[in-house]
Every structure is written in structure tokens, then in C-alpha cells.
Structure 1
Amino acid sequence: MRTALVTGANGGIGGAIVNLLRADGVRVIATDVSGSASPELAAGTAYVPTDLLDDTASFDPLIAEVGDGGLDYLVNAAGLAFFERDGSIFDKHDDEVWDKTLGVNLHAVRRVTTAALPYLRRGQGKSIVNVASIAGLRGMDSPLDAYQVSKAALVSLSRSMALRLATEGIRCNVVCPGAILTPMIAPLYDESPQRRTNMEGRTPLGRLGIPADVAEATRFLLSAGASFITAAELVIDGGWSAQLK
């Protein structure tokens, strides 16, 4: 049986990835900062609460759950954004926002991946997918500088990881979601329905994405069907970022 480790499992995208992998018969070790798994997570998922901002030693129970069989897939889906406190560096100066945003969105990926790497090295055909954002590839009209920088750095780090691990048969790719209707984003649209309407109007496919859209793309990049794909960024935004406007 294949084994996957997924961070950010209580989030909309992370949870969708967990459930899709479970449906494929993958043994999933899931983690999030919450002490318990969300009710939406598939039954049979091994859940290990972990604060990714803690020191690396706190990852020990999570990595120990992998066991002797090794790890086939690693998905770094944990992420956060401070919509009210983040912004342009010229307007806001909140070091805590920068520390926590980069801590979860970038440094935790580095630390979890290095902790999991000995288990990924057992066998061939192993795969890593990191969840970034189109904000890491393009600028935003309403800047969230800490978030944008963290995701751009994650894209760059993922390329470096891919090149270093390729000779060992371990692939590393990135998914870059656009406007995805997740529990983290939904309150913004609830407060301003016009904001949702505007985003749908700016998206060529005419709708917001849903977590399943990102989960399906992640499953593909993890799979043997993507065996010749590494160091790639797969944009999942309904065509939004392809426009000049």
C-alpha cells in the first residue's frame, strides 16, 4: 500500500487532497495545527496534530507515524494568509505577520520535507507536491506582500528541491491555485458578494475554483502518469492569470 503525508489537512485544499488519496486506497498520514481532525476527513486517515511553527523536534510523532514501510508521497498543503494585517510593505509593518506567514508557508515546507526525506528515499517513484499560489508567480492588485513573498519563495525552493532529488528518482512539483473557494477565503466573499461576482467575471471559465480542482491536479502530479514531470508549476486558476487585464 502506498503511503502519503499531507500537511494542512484540516484546510479546504488539504482535506480534499487527503480524501481523494484515501479514495484511491492510499494510506494517508494527515496533520494540522488543530488537536483533532475535521469531521470532513475520510475515515481511516491517521491524524497527528502538529504545530508547524514549533521546533523540528516536534515533528517526531508525525514522522514516526510513517513507519518502516517508507513514504511514497509528500504534500505540503499547509498555508496561511493574514488578510487584514498583511499588505504592502510601504503601508504596514507587522513583523509577526511576516514571521508566521513565512514560517508556515515556506520554512515549514523545508523542515517537513527534510524530516520526511529519509522515508522518501526508500524505493523509487516517489513524489512531492507543494501547494503555492498564483500570487507566487504574478503580482496582486491588492498586495499581501508577506503572503506573495512566501509563495514565490516556495516556488523557487521547489525547483531547487526537484533538481537536487531528480537523480534519486524523487520528483517535486508545485500547484499554484488561483481563486479557490475554501473555508479560509469564504468569509471574504460572504462579507462582499460583489467581490465574488467580480472574481467570477475576471475568470475566463466563469466560476471560482473548488478544493477538488486542486486535489485532482495534485493527485495527477503525484501519480505515475506524471513520471516525466518535475520542477514544474501547474497553474489552477480557470485562466485568470493568462490575461493582460
Structure 2
Amino acid sequence: MEIVVAEAAERLDVSPSRVRQMLIAGDLVGRRVGRDWLVSAEDVARVQGHRRRAGRPLGPLRAWGLLDLLEDGGAPWLSYSARSQVRGYMSRLSDVDADQWRSILRGRSQVVRAVAHPAAVPRLLARPDVHPAGPDVAARRAFDLVALESDVVEVYVAEDAWPVVQRALALRDAGALEPPNLIVRVPQRVWPFGSDADISDAALAADLLEAPEPRAVRAGQLRLDELLREWQSA
């Protein structure tokens, strides 16, 4: 049985672009029909089973705690008991692939695919409550990644600031057939980056796992693996 990309994305709880990326990489079985794909429903079930074996995703506070601890932060929003449990969980992680990282961390943020008027984008980036993210930022740091050409701007906005930003700049959700030019990540229940609001390498790496470009996914996995090895050996 074959299903369309949108249905495969819904079953796997990923974006349609991620499904197409998996098809191109050979991680998912399907065939091209014109400009799109038909996907093997049986192979989608196989991938679902693999993800269930990888374990349930962490809740937002613990997911952000894991990313903060990877960067030698203290995850101060976690209780002492929860912080100890996350450290124990991290100490047992090994040979984590991109799909497993995504499964573990997927509950950390609300991701809004939005459309902004071109004139609104510079105003958006100039706001003190909006913080640039995405592959371009990662490429300027110690990631195995060159800058990728993209018309999509990625930013982080705190949960309490997002409604204000959305109204002020007339941002709207991209429809099913309208490509976004803005991806907004809204961390759930915590602002995890400290008072200076720099986006951490661990957060950038986790975001790259959701990119449609395989090179970006690989760079995100490599950086998370590197941070985990450093943390486990410390």
C-alpha cells in the first residue's frame, strides 16, 4: 500500500519536507510520481516502530535541560531530582542516530512556519526579543556545515513574547500550499538561553535535525554526538 507524503508526515509526526528528505536519502521507501512521491505505508510503519524503540520524547523542561547540561549549564529550571534523572538518562545514551535525537528532543519547542512580508523581516530581526537561529548561525560556529542558500529566516522567540511579535509584524501561519519564509521556534515553558539570550550550540544542533537538507541534519547529529561525548567523559 502507498500513501502520499502528507499522510506519511502525519504518521511520523514530522514535516512533509522531512519525509522527502528521508526518501531522497533512502531512509524511507517510496517512488516519484511527477514532482512528488508515493510512500510505502509498510515502511512508514517500520520507521514508526524504530522510533518507539528509541523511547518516548522528553517533556519540554527536561529536553531543554538535556541540551543545557550538554553545554555545561545547570538547567536551573529543573528540580534537583529532575536534574539528576536527566543526567542519569544522558549517561546511558550511546550510538544515538538522528532519528533518535529527534524523538528525544521533539517536544522542546512549538515550531511555527510563518509568512512575513519582506519588509517585516529586517524589523523582526532588529527586535531585542527575537534571536536569530538556523543553519546560517550554525555555519558561523564550530559545525561541520557551510552556509546553505535559503530564503527562510529562522528565529527564536520566548513564549510570552511570541503573541506580541506576531501581532506587531502581522505574521501569519503558512498554509498547506504556501511555503513559509520564516520559521519561529517558541521554547515551551522556559526560556533556556540565559540573560544574554544567545542560542546555544546544542539547540542549534537539535534544530538542524529537522532541516530538509541532509548535510544540515548530519551536521546537527555530529555536533550533538560531540557534545555528548565531551559531557560523558567529563
Pairwise same-fold verdict (TM > 0.5): no
TM value normalised by structure 1: 0.27
Q: TM-score, normalised by structure 2?
A: 0.28
